[in-house]
Homo-oligomer: A and B are copies of this chain.
Amino acid sequence: MSTATTASTIFLKNTWYVAAWSHEIKAEGMLARTITRLPLIFWRDQDGRVVALLDRCCHRAAPLSKGRREGDCIRCMYHGLLFNSAGQCVEIPSQEFIPPAAKVRAFPVVERSKWVWIWMGEPTKADASLIPDTHYLDDPGWRGTPGYLHYNANYVLIADNLLDFSHLSYVHATTLGGSAKYAGTRPKVTREGRSVHVERWLIDDEPAPFLRNLKTWPGNVDRWNIYEVVLPGVLLMDSGSAATGTGAPEGNRVDAASFFGCQAVTPETEKTSHYFFQQSHGFALDDPAVTESLTTSVLAGFMEDKDIILAQQRILDLDPDAPMLALRMDTALASFRTMLDKAIAEESAQT
């Protein structure tokens, strides 16, 4: 299996991608962001609803994000065409007739729990009930800090990373991870619909390094990472540690350090990606030092991921078709890639 798979070069269209954090799209102004190689412009209409249009004027391809907002419309500041929030051109200088083709593509958008989701495919198929539940992002029972990293790497390499936590013992040995014992455990991997479910337990081991500033226990802990990765690359993870015996699958998680992680990888182009993440804690809610320490640890860890993934991308660039050797630890990764390739192939067959 090489990265030169369908998934790396053709993008899934009929799916929800995380496009932005809510706070990135302000009441005034506009956000320009490219997703699946399409330039997009996002803004809020006067009712606060997020609008997403193709950031390319239908006339001469100037980006609307260089334009001017006029109420709920946007004016291209090259030659003055005015578009409403549905992408329909409503004014053309020097001519009264507006051709039906004078419009820019509008994309279905849903804003939910601080994330703005966009549907890049057929609008009539945009079913908001398909959006994964990420209420942890703004649930009062959880605390966390929004994060974003831009990657000069294909997004599937980032998804690969999320699908195999073996790397915690190596990439994150001194931060989010810990001993080699973690890599030695085997997760339970199942596939359901458009997601891969991974459940991983480390019983009776020292707490991970990053926990030292968050919580202490008299002895060892049981540690869990229970998560799913949903197409095209959204991770939803229940994780935590509790005193050994109380955390384990049948335990009651008494006095646990519990976390919920929401992460999303969104392709910008074939070689660049957006990465959105928030790790929320469900304990010590009123202690900002815990939130801050967790935020710092998570970012440090994710920079370690970025470092190895960019290195991997550099090596792959020298020989994109180099073979990769499938190992047992790749079960979830392989399952996800197969699912993604299949979904893309199905879309291609329909068009």
Contact of A94 among B58, B59, B184 (CB under 8 A): B184
Given contacts A58-B325, A318-B39, contact A171 B311 (CB under 8 A): no
B328–A95 contact, CB under 8 A? yes
CB of A61 within 8 A of chain B? Answer: yes
What mask results when residues 301 to 332 of chain A are scored 1 for a CB within 8 Å of chain B, else 0?
A: 00000011001101110110011110111100
Closest Cβ neighbor of A60 among chain B residues = B324
CB of A13 within 8 A of chain B? Answer: no
Q: How far apart are the CA atoms of A55 and B185 in the complex, in Å?
A: 27
Provide the residues of chain B in CB contact with A3, threshold 8 Å: 61
8 Å CB contacts to B: which residues of A74-131? 75-80, 92-95, 99, 101-102
Given contacts A183-B79, A319-B37, contact A93 B329 (CB under 8 A): yes
A interface size (C-beta, 8 A): 58
Q: How far apart are the CA atoms of A138 and B188 in the complex, in Å?
A: 59
Q: How far apart are the CA atoms of A202 and B83 in the complex, in Å?
A: 26
A170–B78 contact, CB under 8 A? yes
Given contacts A166-B79, A308-B78, A315-B39, contact A61 B322 (CB under 8 A): yes
Q: How far apart are the CA atoms of A75 and B166 in the complex, in Å?
A: 14
Provide the residues of chain B in CB contact with A39, threshold 8 Å: 315, 318
Closest Cβ neighbor of A328 among chain B residues = B95
A316 to B: closest C-beta gap in Å: 5
Q: A78-B170, A94-B185, A99-B325 are in contact. List 20 more A-B contacts (CB 8 A).
A: A38-B318, A56-B322, A58-B325, A59-B324, A60-B312, A61-B322, A61-B324, A62-B308, A62-B312, A77-B173, A77-B308, A78-B171, A79-B164, A79-B166, A79-B183, A79-B329, A80-B170, A93-B329, A95-B328, A102-B327
